[in-house]
Amino acid sequence: MKFSEYMQTWLYGNEGYYTKERTIGKEGDFYTAVSTSMFFGGSIAKRLISTIESGFLSPSSYVVEIGAHKGYLLADMIQFIYTLKPALLQSLTFVIVEPFEANQTMQKTYFEEAFGDAIKLLHVKHLEAFTCKEAFFVANEIFDAFSCELIKEDEMLFIENEKAFFATMDDETRKKADEYGIKKGELCLGYEPFAKAMSQCCERFEFVTFDYGDKEARNDFSLRVYANHQVYPFFALTDLVEEKLREPNDFNVFFAKSDLTYDVNFSHLFHAFEKSGISVYDYSTQMKALVDFGLVELLELFANNVSEKQYETELNRIKTLIDPSFMGERFKMACFRKGEMECN
């Protein structure tokens, strides 16, 4: 089968990695910005409030998280909205896009325990099932989990009988590879359908998303497996590299049990959204984005209301988010907008 089909089964099949409740953070396979500090969600909440106060979105907009896992990011945003602009909790409607019933149940339980009936929370299985006039969409590390093809010149990767091998590329993949000038590396065919679905479901929106990757294609492979905070280059788990570069296990050992991910090609992502009439409003490192969103102001507010020890503890967590040697430079923020009104 094509590698994209294999990756889709690995991550989203009946027993796929993302279909089950999983631990993120110290006890899991990897960290995310959400698991690092509540101020990640707090900064995005401040951005949401600013977008509403600017007039681009109204106070009755929907706030939609895509790829919510347990819902911690959206919950952190709600906590900070309550602190900064509590009246918005009466007018905003919160939505989680979640295809898996088990995850929906987990999220509903968490939100009921955290907020009771203080907020309105809805679930939809996919964007095609959701329509609204105005929305603020948010996502963290979703595009690195879209299934992709692995291409090398005129060939693409296939998986058969638990073996990986390159063979002739099909016409659809070749056309897309030529369009983006990719000769070697990952090629996602799902960005365009996703952007189209978002454009069709909402008349006006802002979409803020964070992911790791580069502005342009690297023309090299970045696909890797994360297992218990260990990183394994995918090809080191195959016999396609020389023996001295191979890991003791092969990729089948990790199938559906560990995360499988790659660097996002943001130029491809931008083009996909622009083809659906969505503009690229901003793009920056995670460090710059969080500071621009208001992280420093939130920290000052926090410092005035907690002990010095609590402040120092949270500050150390935040350093991971913005330190260039950790998440600060490696992760990028992209902001997209659709709607007639332009913001200065």
Q: What is the pLDDT, as a whole number, of residue 25? A: 42
Q: What is the spatial distance between Cα 67 and Cα 89, in angstroms, rounded to a whole number? A: 22
Residues 265, 271, 275, 277: what is their CA dihedral angle, to the nearest 10 degrees?
Answer: 100
Q: What is the spatial distance between Cα 277 and Cα 337, in angstroms, rounded to a whole number? A: 9
Name the residue among 37, 99, 110, 33 with its Cα closest to residue 70. 110
**149 forms bridges with which residues in the sheet?**
187
Q: What is the pLDDT, as a whole number, of residue 117? A: 86
- Are 24 and 102 contained in the same domain? no
- Are 195 and 315 contained in the same domain? yes
Q: What is the pLDDT, as a whole number, of residue 18? A: 85
Quote the domain boundaries for residue 127. 31-145+190-214+262-337
- Are 155 and 294 contained in the same domain? no
Angle at 188 between CA 183 and CA 190, to 5 degrees: 150
- Are 210 and 323 contained in the same domain? yes
Q: Is there a domain that residue 333 lies in?
A: yes
By CB atoms closer than 10 A (0-12, 13-18, 19+), residue 253 is: middle
Specify the CATH number for the domain of residue 324: 3.40.50.12710
Q: What is the pLDDT, as a whole number, of residue 67? A: 87
- Are 122 and 197 contained in the same domain? yes
Would you call 126 helix, strand, or coil by DSSP? coil
Q: What is the pLDDT, as a whole number, of residue 111? A: 93
Q: What is the spatial distance between Cα 92 and Cα 80, in angstroms, rounded to a whole number? A: 14
Q: What is the spatial distance between Cα 44 and Cα 251, in angstroms, rounded to a whole number? A: 36
**285 forms bridges with which residues in the sheet?**
332
Write the pLDDT tens digit of every residue in 53-109.
999 999 999 999 998 888 899 999 999 999 999 999 999 999 999 988 888 998 999
Name the residue among 211, 170, 207 with its Cα closest to residue 189. 170
- Are 299 and 200 contained in the same domain? yes
Would you call 97 helix, strand, or coil by DSSP? strand
Q: Is there a domain that residue 20 lies in?
A: yes
Residue 181: Cβ within 10 Å count: 11
- Are 103 and 63 contained in the same domain? yes
Q: What is the spatial distance between Cα 325 and Cα 328, in angstroms, rounded to a whole number? A: 7
**233 forms bridges with which residues in the sheet?**
224
- Are 10 and 124 contained in the same domain? no
What is the CA 113 to chain-centroid distance, rounded? 25
Q: What is the spatial distance between Cα 34 and Cα 226, in angstroms, rounded to a whole number? A: 17
- Are 310 and 161 contained in the same domain? no
Q: What is the pLDDT, as a whole number, of residue 147? A: 96
Q: What is the pLDDT, as a whole number, of residue 24? A: 45
Q: What is the spatial distance between Cα 315 and Cα 310, in angstroms, rounded to a whole number? A: 9
Q: What is the pLDDT, as a whole number, of residue 255? A: 95
Q: Is there a domain that residue 305 lies in?
A: yes
Q: Is there a domain that residue 278 lies in?
A: yes
- Are 74 and 195 contained in the same domain? yes
Domain count, the chain: 2
Q: Is there a domain that residue 343 lies in?
A: no
Q: Is there a domain that residue 344 lies in?
A: no
- Are 153 and 61 contained in the same domain? no
Residues in the chain with pLDDT < 70?
20-33, 35, 328, 340-344
Write the pLDDT tens digit of every residue in 220-234.
999 999 988 799 999
Contacts of 178 by beta carbon, 8 Å cutoff, 6+ apart: none
Q: Is there a domain that residue 342 lies in?
A: no
- Are 111 and 182 contained in the same domain? no
